Structure 1
Amino acid sequence: MTEKVEEQLSMFKEWFRKQPHFPKKIDDILIVRFLHSCYYDVENAKKTANKFFEMRATCPDLFANRDPTGPDIQNAIQFSKMAQYSIAGNKFLWIWQIDDPGLQRYNATHEAKLSALATDCWLLVEQNLEESDIVLVDAKHMSFRILMKLNLSLSKAQVKYYEEAMPFRMNQIHFVNCPPILSRIFSIYKTFVKPEVTERICFHLPNSETLFEYINKDDLPKDLGGNRESMEYFTKLAIERIMDKREILLDDSYWISCDKNK
């Protein structure tokens, strides 16, 4: 860590600890992550931290009633698979898959809550500061039915959170096994996704190998043509971590701003 970075980190920590509306039960690694995610731009890190805690107080559909043992999250677990792990080049890979071919169980709110829980759990346990985050979504089970189940206000809040408040470096977004309906879904989302984010999105057709131009097979689960463990294996690990951190995940004193107007 250079002298300049150490100075910026010291300044940011001092500012962070002085914010009366921020939760008090905050680990140093989360404070560091805000600064790291903004490439050590202190002013941008302040904005990100403020947005992170504000949105938790103002977006109950994402952050309230999210007990991992409760009915909403338990339902989401039934139709979701996920993986979160480090890959070559000091990068971190996030994979999400709807494992519900007929979308009978699928509920957009339940899915969003589980996704937020998974990322919060990562914030609690991950110590490495990655250079780049890659998001991969398996779209193979997306169909026309999903359009009837989307919650646009929730989708907008979710996009805003990951664009402006989540302390990570989201540099690539990949959709794999893309069905024709995905173009219609994306046309809806494109109206509220920032242009600089849409530029990072790549679409990959079923049975194509274009994904491997971006991510090595050795870094992908075998379900997606790679050489690593299955999505089922990684999902089991992720759920176990969430259950292990249940008490902290449900403790608002770790997560929610005391003043919604800050």
Structure 2
Amino acid sequence: METKTLILPSPSTIKQIYSKFDTTDEKMDLDVKILKEWMRKQPHLPNPDDDEKIIDEKRIKMVLLMCKNSLEKTKVKLDQHYTIKLSVPEWFSNWDPTSPELVQSIKLNCFVPLPKPTHEGHRVSVFYRSTQDTNNFVTDDYTKLSYMTYDLRTAKLDTWVKDIYIIDCNNTTMNHVTPALPIVKKYMESSFAAFPVRLHEIHVINIKSFLTPFISLPLSFMKKKIADKVFVHKSIEELKNFIDPSILPLNYGGTYPKTIEEIIDDWGDELIKHREWFMTQSSIVADNSKRPKNSNNQLDYFENSIEGSFRKLEVD
């Protein structure tokens, strides 16, 4: 489902992606049926046949793809997705993109995917702040909006292999950083539990000297394999050494015919267009009172992604 906000990889690129994971469209469709049948047999998980709580087949397909076509890993990830929403309702409930606080957040602080994918099929997303003013900055709103964006991509709009993040620190102040520090680990844990994240690269731009310790600290806990994927740039121009200029917005030194502000406006419209779908998502959760004793314990969900200070964050 291609929209003006997200251009999908070409059919030939998608075919190459599937081939890499030893699958095809036909095999993926069959595996989705197998996974839906598995969900029907899990008393604690949402029933994929419940018309009032529609389970998007696209979500299952994307999770399977991100799990490298492993049915068992996909089962764990689906279980995690529907369970973590119970643990952090401040981020996974009241998903109304027309609410004043979320409309305000996307204008001030947001996480937005860029429309054009890379030639490998990766999706580039930007963490962006439009102003240094923190009077209306609410960390929970910013986080909620980020999760809504990733969820819509996964379940409805996008097909991609790995994520590339651009973290624009241009308008970041200590008043942004201070309230975020206590929830960094919780945010990372929740992100990797809820979504099939596979990181390719992280690019930090417009960094101020006072922010350097806040970049260096988490890097010091990461495996070298992960730290080598994080690039701190002296100028926006350096982005073009890693990301094709045709993908980057005009004010990021690129040739994509829109500014980052225009792309954010388009994405805000996309979120509102899916308001009804968003409003149902909070109720599509696991019921742990029905969880079988031999089921994966939700407290162990993060062991393969993060431990302590991000020590097992997976990047491949």
Shared fold (TM-score greater than 0.5)? Answer: yes
What's the % identity of the aligned pairs?
Answer: 21
> Which one of 120, 137, 140 corresponds to residue 106 of structure 1?
137
Matched, 1:84 2:107: no
Distance 1:231 1:49 in 2: 32
Matched, 1:56 2:56: no
Q: TM-score, normalised by structure 1?
A: 0.85
Residue in 1 that maps onto 2:244: 216
Distance 2:98 2:260 in 1: 21
> Which one of 167, 179, 187 corresponds to residue 158 of structure 1?
187
After superposition, give the CA deviation of every residue in 1:84-108 in whole Å (9 maximum; x if it has no partner): 3232312211112011223332221
After superposition, give the CA deviation of every residue in 1:35-78 in whole Å (9 maximum; x if it has no partner): 10011122222222121111111112211233222243133123
Relative distance call for 1:184 and 1:253 in structure 2 (3 A) is closer
Give the ranges of 4+ consecutive aligned residues of structure 1 lying more than 6 Å apart after TM superposition: 191-195
Kept in 2: contact 1:23–1:253 (CA 8 A): no
Q: Which residue identity does 1:105 align to in structure 2?
A: N
What is the aligned length?
A: 259
Kindly state the Cα deviation for residue 4 of structure 1 after the two structures are TM-superposed: 5.8
Residue in 2 that maps onto 1:145: 175
Residue in 2 that maps onto 1:241: 270
> Which one of 245, 259, 262 corresponds to residue 288 of structure 2?
259
Distance 2:137 2:220 in 1: 24
Which shifted more, 2-11 or 210-219? 2-11
Q: TM-score, normalised by structure 2?
A: 0.72
Give the CA RMSD over aligned residues.
2.7
> Which one of 69, 74, 94 corresponds to residue 125 of structure 2?
94
Structure 1 alignment gaps of length 5 or more: none
Kindly state the Cα deviation for residue 143 of structure 1 after the two structures are TM-superposed: 2.2
Distance 1:18 1:174 in 2: 42
Kept in 2: contact 1:33–1:168 (CA 8 A): no
Kindly state the Cα deviation for residue 8 of structure 1 after the two structures are TM-superposed: 5.2
Distance 2:236 2:267 in 1: 28
Kindly state the Cα deviation for residue 140 of structure 1 after the two structures are TM-superposed: 0.9
After superposition, give the CA deviation of every residue in 1:122-150 in whole Å (9 maximum; x if it has no partner): 2243253x233212121111122223322
